[in-house]
Amino acid sequence: MNGFTFPEEFLWGASTSAFQVEGGAAEGGKGPATTDRGPGRPGISDNRVASDFYHHWREDIELMAELGIDVYRMGFSWSRIMPDATGEPNPEGLAFYDAVIDRLLEKDIEPLVTLYHFECPQVLVDAFGGWKSRRMIDAYLRYAEVCFRHFKGRVKRWVTVNEQLIATAAPDNTGDDERDPRRRQKNTYQMSYHVALAEHRAIALLRSIDPDASIGPVCAMQVVYPRSSSSGDILAAMNAEEMLQNYLLDLSVRGTVSPYVSFYLKREGFAPAVEPGDAEVLASSRPDFLGVNYYFSSCARERVEPIRFDRFPPWSGGDFELCDNPCASSTEWMANGIDPLGLRIGMRRLYDRYQLPMIVTENGMALSEELSSDGKVDDPYRIDYLAQHIAEVGELVREGYPVLGYCVWSLMDLCSSHQGFAKRYGLVFVDRTDTDVKECRRVRKSSFFWYQQVIENRGLPDRS
């Protein structure tokens, strides 16, 4: 696919999320959030500073402009905009995002804004248990309404929720302190159900406030291969895709779940509590696009042992067993194996099921990196990874699939969701470690200059 020129309207972008880059946890009237993790938690760096975007945003937007991106996929911090449970917005929080959004627009960079990326306001967890309660739906809608009205005409594309799978399964994000594995699992499904109701109501709300804007969910795309060609392994891989992806997207897009999912949830006692009128809400709207996050594929085989619900992540238990894929090459941080073709396979499946335009909202390569003695970061392995995945996106475009754009994860090094700054994805190096935040100086990696060329040429360099 080297030499293929992407269409003029294809969006080249880079991604981050609020809690992973912003920092400024105690500034600008921000309230506490589940993701504000201070020092002292082994293996997890201090999110309260993160990449210090809160103080470096002007410089970071200059870097984005230099890179040449069309779209910056960013997040709003709910607890910065709505710091308490009153439902009243924080003027300083809105002013921060006003400044960021206005500067992006001045630089001709479209903000693609995620409303909810793992970060749950702690006050709402303390008040009623966060997403475990239906009250969270109204709280989310109030937050969404404030954002839709305030940024109307400036933000034209919204993401409802990033990766429901992780957003509702990781207790670090949800604030759920349930210890009993089965009850915790039940809570997870109840939370996803509430998230889906909130998403559909938010879509309808946006249509009434700003009909010119578009909105959609971002999924953690699952490409699950059977470990062998035995029918038991094939069914296991299907079950895994149903439970790890289709279940959630079916709720977000179609407002229903498949007979298998419904059967499984009832069989295990995990079916969420439903109220009259829910089915109408779920059927009342359809997103405009699907955001796709993809890092690697997975592999599953037939389950022989009984399901264990005490393993983490909680959703890894089901009528399947996740296992190694002997065909994929793994690295320290990409343990499942790197599989560029999986991106094409997964997106074709998504299109076949949902017929929605898609945008790659996250794709990138994690490594532990340091500055060299001459103050640089040379990352040919990342360039290789990105080139192979962009080539597959190019194939999808050539085949006629509606792919709106591609965003690298991540614009800059940020706090990995569980491994802190030991695990880096950025095109821009952020000079800090897990234990020493230093000044968070920005240093362009070689992948930055490479991606700049890709954007300028609207495609990969021709190596033939």
Return the amino acid letter for 354: Y
Annotation marks residue 268 as catalytic:
no
**297 touching ligand BG6, by CB under 6 A:** no
**162 touching ligand BG6, by CB under 6 A:** yes
- Identify the active-site residue in 119, 241, 362, 369: 362
Rounded CA-CA distance 205/166 in Å is: 25
> 47, 214, 416, 447: which one contacts ligand BG6 (CB under 6 A)?
416
Q: What does DSSP say about strands 358-362 and 321-323: parallel, antiparallel, or unpaired?
A: unpaired
Rounded CA-CA distance 120/122 in Å is: 6
- Identify the active-site residue in 110, 163, 199, 395: 163
**77 touching ligand BG6, by CB under 6 A:** no
> 166, 213, 253, 299: which one contacts ligand BG6 (CB under 6 A)?
166
Site track 342-381 with ligand BG6 (rule: CB under 6 A), x = hit: --------------------x---x---------------
Name which of 120 and 397 has its Cβ closer to ligand BG6. Answer: 120
Site track 421-450 with ligand BG6 (rule: CB under 6 A), x = hit: --x---------------------------
Identify which of 48, 13, 224, 233 has the alpha carbon closest to the alpha carbon of residue 122.
48
Considering only residues 275 to 294 of the shown chain, the ones binding ligand BG6 according to CB under 6 A are 293
Residue with tokens 């957003």: 167
Annotation marks residue 362 as catalytic:
yes
Look at the alpha carbons of 84, 88, 89, 91 in this order and tell me if their dihedral is positive or negative. negative
Mark the segment that binds ligand BG6 (CB under 6 A) among 314-322, 368-376, 383-391, 413-421. 413-421
> 52, 163, 199, 321: which one contacts ligand BG6 (CB under 6 A)?
163
Q: How far is the CB of 266 from ligand BG6 (least distance, A)?
A: 29
Mark the segment that binds ligand BG6 (CB under 6 A) among 32-40, 161-169, 226-234, 247-255. 161-169
Contacting positions for ligand BG6 (CB under 6 A): 17, 20, 162-163, 166, 220, 293, 362, 366, 416-418, 423
Residues with a known catalytic role: 163, 362
